[in-house]
Structure 1
């Protein structure tokens, strides 16, 4: 670690590792266990399937190109294992991830719990619509709570159809129990005995767990991932690595050439830009609430009706986000550079090219 790597950069890198753990890494054992333990006709598999789309393929590609081990550049061309080669953490990146994972807690990833833990909200996390935000003009929290509430209402309505007999129906569902057992005991084997795991013996546990999974694979991933190009697109704004000694005199002038010569090299810069320059939402990518198999996914009319209601709520949230972004009194919605906060806009806006909506899953 070079002499210019200060505690702020280390903390930021840890936060980046945590975000990947909470999205890509959290979803993978859920997807694998669901496909191993639940029939495709199982109602919970049907509920969660749209949020699994392309996630395993995306993770596999990332392991190959982004987070693998060792420098595999050939002839100065684009290279693999970008993080280990080109981020200041170097070969310690995986160790940092392990340190971050030691504090992993699935229940804290439910959005209201996350806000409360970070000290920006207070109240009953089970009643997200009544949660008090301690920072009123906080776009991520305001938009996120509306989306979380809509997700949870949709999951509650859906589960009420298939688990009408209550907690006993959940506890007695062998496929569901096998799925959750594999997530906990195989997918997170080193944390299997942690006291915070949902017991999965009640409808409340099922609803909270499924809501958290949907939130992580869709809205949360969008919020922490799709704003990357605004920073990474101009690498001097956010160098991944610096080298060289700090000037002995804190007031000494540093030339542009000296600065550019000490940060991420040009070839690596192009690679980093390429990682984030693709549109976050590809044309045709199903957005939250959309199902390509809409007519075939269920014969249960109550479930189909609940999905329509979920989509109506998301449409209303999209309009509310636009109105808040247009409110000059909410200064944090646009910031000093006058770029509106749209990372949690659930619907694409054809009048604003960079607003692509929230995909159902971690597909990019």
Structure 2
């Protein structure tokens, strides 16, 4: 038997004696007669037709006491306004307790909300002059930097795409920005740990600039020190926090907004304009476009508008945020969107403990096999692909409107064979579903503890060692107002829709033939097996990774 204990505070009037009076605090205990197994998520429902009025409730937290004695703690500290659902996950508290640890810092590159940035390093770049003397104490006995490079145990996180973007003022105070570099080592104990961080200092590019126009480059120099784990506690923590700050922009602007929301919107609009409803590709793709245009339109109006929430919480402002996306768009390559290629390109195809890689490839394989069955049913030969003018118009519009006609992107302007079409459609469906889930589902868990994911920095990058204190560290983090706005944005982005449709569940019947409907059933079976495998594996993990559990992946980008 499991027991759940809920504490909440009422914030409005209730009729007669049906509930608490305003501002009253109550504890609720709910008994369950069966073992619920490992808990991943708790959802609190405030139903329209219960005795609860529409007045807002404030939920502090939920504690679940399992039969084996384990106590799950799900922090909430949020209002339930109106009727709806509040989804709670346990990981938020874990982040608050472990965010400063090197092991958790490294873990986030593998299984956090931006797991596609890390690359294997085979040669130390000239702009990051790390020497063996610097890092030898952190590599273990009997080895050296060159040996670890050759073994493939050194990894690099390079935020060069953020280089040179100017910061703005927030709340009347100048903000600061930089493009750090971080070197990590995968050690014998199985942990990925940071061993060197370069935090660029303020430099003028070619001529003297006024203070408000100063840029930050990755050029090494006396004002661009390399910080090490052996430095003072606060120096090292602040260096890692600058890296986490850069992660904010690479995740929110590039991995999340650009590479899922905006690209999926281009796929969707081209489909609506070029493919009629009776077209088999329309039937295959339409479930994966549900609400995408609507949610992006709301985002532009509420989050990305001039003077809106994002503009008031990011040190780069809307212009700098857009600049990062423009740069990333100019580097998007079609071959890298084929998921198996991306892991090989980054040299992380055999990196242990990379559960994101394991789960994403499993889901990718299920989707690719599903797409193969559908495509080969409707396109029995290459000539059928090449002769489909509506299909070719769809592909051409995506190349022109999404990639802006950039030939170096490698995006096709036409498709000539069945395998080419299978690859293309698999990329589209994966982008619109699992790829978004990987970077969106855990947002609030990893970001609610602001020092782990700051959106702005109030002091310039540290240019000398030994000067950072607790006071200067806190003064560098975002102020309270900026933090609150950022949390509001991230909370908004993390809310689940009330009518969520998990991957593979298509209640709207578009295919009427028996063969594609059998393929849908087979897809669900494969996804159910993946879900089972993930949950069994997670039982043995200190930090469960479930963002790509198919039951938590939506068919489309709807939030």
TM-score, structure 1 normalization:
0.81
* 2:360 is equivalent to residue 144 of structure 1: yes
Aligned equivalents of 2:498, 2:444: Cα separation in 1:
18
Q: Is the 8 A contact 2:177 2:315 kept in 1?
A: no
User: Within 1, Cα distance between the matches of 2:445 and 2:473?
Assistant: 21
Alignment of 1:85 onto 2:312: yes
1:201 and 2:416 are equivalent in the alignment = yes
* 1:1-364 matches, cutoff 5 A: 1=167, 2=175, 5=178, 7-8=180-181, 9=243, 11-12=246-247, 13-19=249-255, 20-68=257-305, 70=306, 72=307, 80-82=308-310, 84-90=311-317, 91-121=319-349, 134-164=350-380, 166-192=381-407, 194-197=409-412, 199-245=414-460, 250-252=465-467, 254-255=469-470, 259-277=473-491, 280-293=495-508, 296-327=509-540, 334=541, 338-347=542-551, 357-364=552-559
- Matched-pair contact (CA < 8 Å) for 1:14–1:100: no
Question: Which has the larger share of strand?
Answer: 2
Seen in structure 2, the aligned counterparts of structure 1 residues 162 and 152 have a Cα distance that, compared at 3 Å, is same
Give the direction of change, closer, same or farther, for the CA distance of 1:42–1:200 in structure 2 (3 Å limit): same
Asked if 2 retains the 8 angstrom alpha-carbon contact of 1:33 and 1:179, the reply is yes
Deviation string 1:36-84 (CA, Å, 9 cap, x unpaired) is 111111100110101101111111122223333x4x2xxxxxxx151x4
Q: Aligned-pair RMSD on alpha carbons? A: 2.3
**Distance in 1 (alpha carbons) for counterparts of 2:468 and 2:322:** 36
Distance in 1, Cα, partners of 2:282 & 2:253: 28
Residue 6 of structure 1 deviates from its aligned partner by: 5.1
- Shifted more, 44-53 versus 263-272: the winner is 263-272
Q: Distance in 2 between matches of 1:189 and 1:343?
A: 32
- Mapped to 1, the partners of 2:294 and 2:177 lie a distance apart of 36
Judging by fraction of residues, say which structure has more helix.
1
Write the distance in 1 (CA, Å) between the matches of 2:516 and 2:480. Answer: 53
CA contact (8 A) 1:222 1:359 kept: yes
* Equivalent pair of 2:331/2:409 in contact (CA under 8 Å): no
What TM-score comes out, normalization by structure 2 length? 0.54
Larger radius of gyration between Structure 1 and Structure 2? 2
Question: Following the alignment from structure 2 to structure 1, what is the Cα–Cα distance between the partners of residues 409 and 447?
Answer: 37
Unaligned runs of 5+ in 2: 1-166, 168-174, 182-242
Unpaired segments ≥5 residues, structure 1: 73-79, 122-133, 328-333, 348-356
Query: Partners in 1 of 2:462 and 2:504 — Cα distance?
Result: 54
1:138 Cα deviation (Å)? 1.2
Whether the aligned pair in 2 keeps the contact of 1:236 and 1:260 (CA below 8 Å) is no
How many residue pairs align between the two structures? 320
C-alpha deviation, 1:319, in angstroms: 0.2
**Is the contact between residue 277 and residue 283 of structure 2 (CA under 8 Å) also seen in structure 1?**
yes
Instruction: Flag the structure with more relative contact order, 1 or 2, with Cα contacts below 8 A and sequence separation at least 6.
Output: 1
